[in-house]
């Protein structure tokens, strides 16, 4: 018997449809007439094989079998799922967030670390990382890389200077970057280490910008949009809006010929101003950016309408950004997966089991979203016997892929999703845990997949017309 796979989903494209297997990830485009004939045949042919398909759809039927869109039994679905799950990567430490300071000169109203919340702030030590702790943290990270079996020059680990606000502790940032550069020739696994800094940018000046460039530290400046109104939630500790001062820093980077990327948190006001972000990109010569969807908690719940609007905003911006040759991280992660037909298991390094976070006092955790209460901070840099990839907490996080969530199996975006944020998922409802579903990313992944399938279809039509 031949039937549609449980992982097959149908997308309406007007005169045509796309049939798509969420784990094989190769859309097959059919006319609606051919699709109708296929459905009629499947409904009437209880014991048929693909060789019994009507001549009018014989070729299509064979192609659909090739991509498992049509299966001969439910056992085929089980085997595909089992095979894909067997490919879930083993945890390998490759990313380190170095929290140079828990202090911040801002108090953004949506801050997931709680810098805007006096109760949460009481849980912060609000200290800066010392140079000695930073040295131990780097040594700890290098050891975790080696313990992951990645002690080669081909390895490309990432170290991110983070906070709070990392520029509050610029001297230690300099020290760590200098040491990394001095070790590249003698420590193979960090030869190609990438360094970047996520900052609000307010403490940048000409000397610091040029120094960061000299050290090879990428600059990512966080903003919420193009206007003061769009950035009204981004305020200093006194409640003053800071957007004009951030623009001054972007202008300074441009004048110095230093590329700064943007980390854009999508406020509801920004979603109403698609042209504004593009104007900012064009004006300040931005070459790369990433969009961040706001997170909910008990005191700040986002409606589903926001999730829908944010997902569509990212898609619409991507269409314009690719015309400019600008990389947008959020959607490109999924596009790489879709274009290569390779399942995207995890959307962040933490849920891939590949990330460590080092707090200023040397505590080691999984996710920087837990800094305010140090949940899942299970070791210190002095724990010489600690191996992140063998720790039960890190292993638990490494298994948070949608491929381990049966409730995700019927979702068309299963193969490109990667899951969302475990912390946001837990915060959505009182009864939730890190194993719950981040509904923001359900919306984002589904809408993104719809766009990819329709976009590929239009590209195919355009190429045919050009021949």
- The pLDDT confidence band at residue 305, using thresholds 50, 70 and 90, is very high
Over residues 141-145, the mean pLDDT reads 98
pLDDT at residue 125 greater than cutoff 60: no
State the average pLDDT for the chain. 91
pLDDT of 446 reads: 97
**Which residue is it, tokens 């009864």?**
431
pLDDT of 372 reads: 80
- The pLDDT confidence band at residue 302, using thresholds 50, 70 and 90, is confident
What pLDDT, in 10s, does the model give residues 164-210? 899 999 999 999 999 999 999 999 999 999 999 999 999 999 999 99
pLDDT at residue 112 greater than cutoff 60: no
Q: Which segment of 201-210, 270-279, 433-442 scores lowest on mean pLDDT? A: 270-279
Nearest to 242 by CA among 200, 278, 211: 200
Over residues 107-115, the mean pLDDT reads 56
- Indicate where the chain has its CATH 3.20.20.70 domain(s): 95-394
Contact 361, 113 (CB under 8 A): no
pLDDT of 241 reads: 76
- The pLDDT confidence band at residue 229, using thresholds 50, 70 and 90, is low
Over residues 445-454, the mean pLDDT reads 98
d(CA 67, CA 70): 8
Over residues 262-279, the mean pLDDT reads 88
Nearest to 387 by CA among 157, 180, 140, 189: 140
What pLDDT, in 10s, does the model give residues 317-357? 999 999 999 999 999 999 999 999 999 999 999 999 999 99
pLDDT of 129 reads: 97
Helix axes 206-215, 243-255, angle to 10 degrees: 60
pLDDT at residue 115 greater than cutoff 60: no
Over residues 414-439, the mean pLDDT reads 92
pLDDT at residue 90 greater than cutoff 60: yes
- The pLDDT confidence band at residue 99, using thresholds 50, 70 and 90, is very high
Phi, psi at 193, each rounded to 5°: -65, 135
Over residues 427-445, the mean pLDDT reads 91
How many other C-beta atoms can be found within 10 angstroms of the C-beta atom of residue 72? 13
pLDDT at residue 427 greater than cutoff 90: no
What pLDDT, in 10s, does the model give residues 10-61? 999 999 999 999 999 999 999 999 999 999 999 987 777 888 889 999 999 9
pLDDT at residue 73 greater than cutoff 90: no
Over residues 258-285, the mean pLDDT reads 89
Of residues 229 and 356, more confidence is placed in 356
Q: Can the peptide bond before residue 66 be classed as cis, meaning omega within 30 degrees of 0?
A: no
pLDDT of 298 reads: 62
Of residues 22 and 287, more confidence is placed in 22
Q: In what order do the strands lie in the sheet with 327-328?
A: 327-328, 288-293, 260-266, 217-223, 194-199, 158-163, 95-101, 355-358, 363-365, 377-380
pLDDT of 269 reads: 85
pLDDT at residue 408 greater than cutoff 90: yes
pLDDT at residue 113 greater than cutoff 60: no
Over residues 67-96, the mean pLDDT reads 94
pLDDT at residue 214 greater than cutoff 80: yes
Q: Quote the CATH superfamily of domain 95-394.
A: Aldolase class I (3.20.20.70)
pLDDT at residue 457 greater than cutoff 90: yes
d(CA 211, CA 205): 10
């Amino acid at each position: 018997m031949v039937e549609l796979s449980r992982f097959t989903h149908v997308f309406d494209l007007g005169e045509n449809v796309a049939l798509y297997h969420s784990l094989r990830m190769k859309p097959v485009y059919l006319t609606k007439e051919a699709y109708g004939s296929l459905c009629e045949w499947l409904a009437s042919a209880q014991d048929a094989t693909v060789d019994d398909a009507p001549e009018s759809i014989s070729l299509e039927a064979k192609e659909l079998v090739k991509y498992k869109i049509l299966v001969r039994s439910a056992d085929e679905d089980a085997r595909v799922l089992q095979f894909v799950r067997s490919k879930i990567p083993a945890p390998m430490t490759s990313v380190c967030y170095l929290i140079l300071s828990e202090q911040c000169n801002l108090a953004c109203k949506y801050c997931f670390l709680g810098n805007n919340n006096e109760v949460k702030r009481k849980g912060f030590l609000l200290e800066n990382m010392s140079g000695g702790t930073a040295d131990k943290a780097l040594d700890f990270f290098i050891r975790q890389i080696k313990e992951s079996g990645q002690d080669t020059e081909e390895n490309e680990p990432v170290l991110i200077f983070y906070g709070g606000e990392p520029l509050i502790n610029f001297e230690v940032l300099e020290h760590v970057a200098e040491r990394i550069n001095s070790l590249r020739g003698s420590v193979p696994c960090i030869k190609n280490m990438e360094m970047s800094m996520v900052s609000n940018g307010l403490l940048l000046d000409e000397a610091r910008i040029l120094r960061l460039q000299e050290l090879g530290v990428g600059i990512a400046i966080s903003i919420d949009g193009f206007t003061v109104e769009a950035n009204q939630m981004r305020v200093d500790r006194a409640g003053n809006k800071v957007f004009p001062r951030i623009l001054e820093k972007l202008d300074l980077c441009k004048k110095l010929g230093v590329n700064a990327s943007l980390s854009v948190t999508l406020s509801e006001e920004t979603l109403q101003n698609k042209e504004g972000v593009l104007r900012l990109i064009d004006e300040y010569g931005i070459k790369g950016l990433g969009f961040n969807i706001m997170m909910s908690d008990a005191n700040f719940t986002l409606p589903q309408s926001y999730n829908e609007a944010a997902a569509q905003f990212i898609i619409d911006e991507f269409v314009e950004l690719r015309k400019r040759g600008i990389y947008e991280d959020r959607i490109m992660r999924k596009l790489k997966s879709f274009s290569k037909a390779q399942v995207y298991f995890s959307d962040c390094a933490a849920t891939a089991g590949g990330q460590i976070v080092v707090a200023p006092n040397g505590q080691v955790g999984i996710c920087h979203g837990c800094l305010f209460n140090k949940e899942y901070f299970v070791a210190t840099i002095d724990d010489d016997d600690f191996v992140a990839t063998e720790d039960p907490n890190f292993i638990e996080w490494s298994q948070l892929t949608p491929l381990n969530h049966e409730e995700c199996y019927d979702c068309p975006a299963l193969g490109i999703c990667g899951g969302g944020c475990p912390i946001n998922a837990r915060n959505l409802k009182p009864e939730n845990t890190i194993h719950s579903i981040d509904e923001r990313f359900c919306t984002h992944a589904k809408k993104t997949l719809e766009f990819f399938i329709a976009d590929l279809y239009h590209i195919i039509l355009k190429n045919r017309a050009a021949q």
